Amino acid sequence: MLFASKEFLFFFLPLALLAFHVARHISNGKIAVNILIIFSLIYYSWWEIEFLFLLLLSVSLNYLFLRLILLNSSKLILAVGLLFNLGLLAYFKYRNFLIENIELLFIGSSHSFEKFSAIIIPLGISFYTFQQIAMLIDARDGTIKTLPPFLNFVQFVTFFPQLIAGPIVLFKEVREQIEALQKNQFDGLNVFGPGLAIFSFGLFKKVCLADTIAPFADLAFNSHQIISTLEAWAGSVAYSLQLYFDFSGYSDMAVGLGLMFGVRLPFNFDTPFRARNMTNFWKSWHITMTRFFMLYVYSPIALRLGRFAQFNLKNIFLIFFLTVLTPTIFTFLLSGLWHGAGWTFVMFGCVNGLALVLNNGWRMLKMPKLPFLISWSLTMLSVLISFVYFRSESIEAAHNFITAMFSIEHFFFPNWLELYAEKIGVPWKSLPVLSGGSYSVKFLIILAILSVLSVRMPNLSKCYEKLKPSWTLASAIAFMLIMSVGFLDRPKVFLYFQF
Amino acid sequence: MKDGWRKFFLFKLPVTLAAILILIEALAFALEEVRPNRHDLDRLAIVADYPSEAIHSKIIVFGDSVTQDVLKTFKIGVEGQVTNLTTNKASGIIGSYLLLSRYLQNQPTPKTVVFAATPEFFAFSPDGDVAELYLRSVFHHEDEKEYIDGYLGEQRSAPSMSLMHLEGRIGTKIISVLSPTPVKFPMGQRVPDTTSLAADANVQAHVLDDILKRAERPIVIPEKNSNVLSEICTLAKKHKFNIHIVFAPVPISLFDAWKKNGIFASFLTQLRYIFKQGCQDVAVSLETTLTVVPDYMMRDADHLIRHTGTSFFANRLNEFVAKLANSY
């Protein structure tokens, strides 16, 4: 049951809102929070009920670890807790990948993959595992000082708006909010109103923008033929926009839903395509994930290596290698793997890591600041290349795609421009992604509109306090809701191209 | 502020929601008569709906995308001799029948109607979203709607709020209004090349895989398509034209497989039976041999590579048309 589905919009959400707010009014906040937990568990079990037990096992054991850590601040318990969480993730998400690669390394071929491939990855396991890992580390570091009641902890992990795709929330961010909700302290329509606005905005981004460009991007990446330069560029930009509007739309919906239930979740995107360097890009793309990796992976490594370098090294390049390159690449390789168990994701992390290292190296060497257009173009180029790896089915497919982007040999005009192509002496052929004139014009118009929107759209999740109950906001919400509902059921693939 | 939000939820939001919904309905109503202009079949249906003095072709060609590829690029026959009504497989033989009916109501009667397509074209029957996109939303005359309902075996769903059909009732209609109205049937102007060999003689592995998969799929003409073919014969009898069926070139691997598994032979038997039953007193000429091309002439399992493969087919069609014209 995705947020952008009829069963969620017309059945689950109204029912959950009604039950929660009625309980708040006629009973008390505690009952309302408990009702919310029940709805979150129903929401999670909608896909596969057996994974609900895994979620509950993970929550229960992590609560036990938390309790023990808070009792004696034991490093050992933290280690056991981390091992349990990472083990869970490794078993369910990375087992096939690990076995396949170990076999490939030692035997030369993999046979176990098919045997294990039937195992489905439990929904949201990366998100709820990371939230709990962060909580255990925070408890050991003393950021979390007291043990919350069990149900508050369950509410934190299972809160359905953020359960399956983030944002990755830290316990300290929501602890007081959950306690306030239990005391029935809810800012009523002052947060519900902006919540609805942000939710509508996110729904619109997902249904009307991301799903509109998705079939074009799919065509480019699913094409069996070697595509041309124009198609590769159009396809990679289309996919980047699809990914942005899809994920940021989903994150906005989560923030909006959170507010409708009285919980302020952190925002996850901040117009990343405006970034003029890779550091800024990662500060505005999947912000809560970047924060997790910075806080719990990068910083501890960089700190330790930095201390070592400070006392033991003099060579500037060695210091750079140890304090910047090593922690950055390691962090981004892990972040790539977090996105998925595959080499394409590792490469996604690698490209981003290298781009960040270059970015930091440039700054450390005190090189001149590049003009905006150049620095922005270089940043977007790195992002586009990393997204090609992210979207491609294999490393080979990604390399073919990137080759098509940069190779003059693959430059062809589409056949419907053959007259112009022959006039100016450019080769032409039938291009699967830009196959028809009117279709290609439509594609390019959508691409242009979405490109502008991706840098010009306001970030409501960031500044919802400023939203006023005006006629403009009412019209905007009404328009976005109506458009989203209207486009909810449209086919996600181009029927035109099946024949 | 809380009062402001209360007023927002009780008054402003419902009013704007209602206003936009009314606006959508009004817009959909205003655009109701606009014919969509999304794909080639839309454009053919629009042109066929209005009498044109410029059209006096003796030969009409129907077919799927393999033939369409050729006729949209190359000039077939001499000027004005051939009308191109090729569509693609999606609208099926029923799409061709409805288009032919429209054409015959408004344009001079041809002497010959040619179906030049892959064998699968005759067996394909559109349904679901495909039928919506290529039949229901294209053919809007009452008799056409009735015929489509009968073919699909289901009534079209009762009219619902335009909100649920934003793309079909408003989006595509606005694009149609902004697009130039099609006024003539498309025909390519390029002269086909005479060479028949492609520069690259290697068939791509995925193309060969797809060809072999195509070879395994049986071709069974459903009863409803048999009925459509009989209806075409009824039109032929009424308007006194004859029918020719020719097949698009097939790759050698497909030809060999069909020969081995008897799929094409079985298909021909079905077609012969249908014409025998439903086309008495109508001159139907059925091509019984397939033209074979090397596998590397295919850009996918069905389509010929441009322009070597398509030129080859274009030359064949030109020869065929010339032969027909000589026989009048």
When scoring B2, B7, B8, B302 by the number of chain A Cβ atoms within 10 A, the one with the most, hence best to mutate, is B8
B130 and A474 within 8 Å at the Cβ level: the answer is: no
Residue tagged 């027909």 (tokens): B324
Helix (H, G, I), strand (E, B) or coil at B177: helix
What does the pLDDT look like over A281-323, one tens digit per residue?
999 999 999 999 999 999 999 999 988 888 887 787 888 888 8
Shortest distance, CA A83 to any CA of chain B (angstroms): 44
| Alpha helices (H) along chain B | 2-7, 13-30, 40-48, 65-71, 92-106, 119-123, 128-131, 142-152, 172-178, 205-216, 223-239, 252-261, 263-278, 308-327
Residue B196 has pLDDT above 70, yes or no: no
User: In B, residues 141-200, which contact A (CB 8 Å cutoff)?
Assistant: 163-167, 175, 179
A27-31: long-range pairs with CB below 8 Å, 24+: A28/A184, A29/A181, A29/A182, A29/A183, A29/A184, A29/A185, A29/A186, A30/A182
What does the pLDDT look like over B120-152, one tens digit per residue?
999 999 988 899 889 998 999 999 999 999 999
Which chain A residues have a beta carbon less than 8 Å from that of B123? none
B167 and A189 within 8 Å at the Cβ level: the answer is: no
**Is A111 among the residues known to form the active site?**
no
Ordered DSSP codes for A84-123 = HHHHHHIIIIIHHHHHHHHHHHHTSS--HHHHHTTPPPPT
**Catalytic residue from among A25, A224, A339, A399:** A339
Question: Residue A59: how many CB atoms within 10 A of its CB?
Answer: 18
Which chain B residues have a beta carbon less than 8 Å from that of A496? 39, 133
Contact A66, A171 (CB under 8 A): no
Q: Span A490-499, mean pLDDT? A: 57
Nearest residue on chain A to B9, alpha-carbon basis: A193
Residue B19 pLDDT: 95
Contact A8, A15 (CB under 8 A): no
- Domain over B45-156+179-327 is classified CATH 3.40.30: no
What pTM did the predictor assign? 0.83
B16 and A477 within 8 Å at the Cβ level: the answer is: yes
The ipTM of this complex is 0.81
Shortest distance, CA A123 to any CA of chain B (angstroms): 30
Residue tagged 């069963």 (tokens): A7
Helix (H, G, I), strand (E, B) or coil at B51: coil
Which chain B residues have a beta carbon less than 8 Å from that of A485? 163-164
Q: Among partner residues B17, B166, B206, which is closest to A478 by beta-carbon distance?
A: B17
Q: Quick one: what percent of chain A has pLDDT higher than 90?
A: 55
- Domain residues of chain A, as ranges? 6-186, 272-411
pLDDT band for A495, please (50, 70, 90 cuts).
low
Tell me which DSSP letter residue A210 carries. I
Helix (H, G, I), strand (E, B) or coil at B113: strand
What does the pLDDT look like over B230-271, one tens digit per residue?
999 999 999 999 999 999 999 999 999 999 999 999 999 999
Which H or E run contains A196?
helix A189-204
Which chain A residues have a beta carbon less than 8 Å from that of B67? none
For residue B197, give the amino acid letter: L
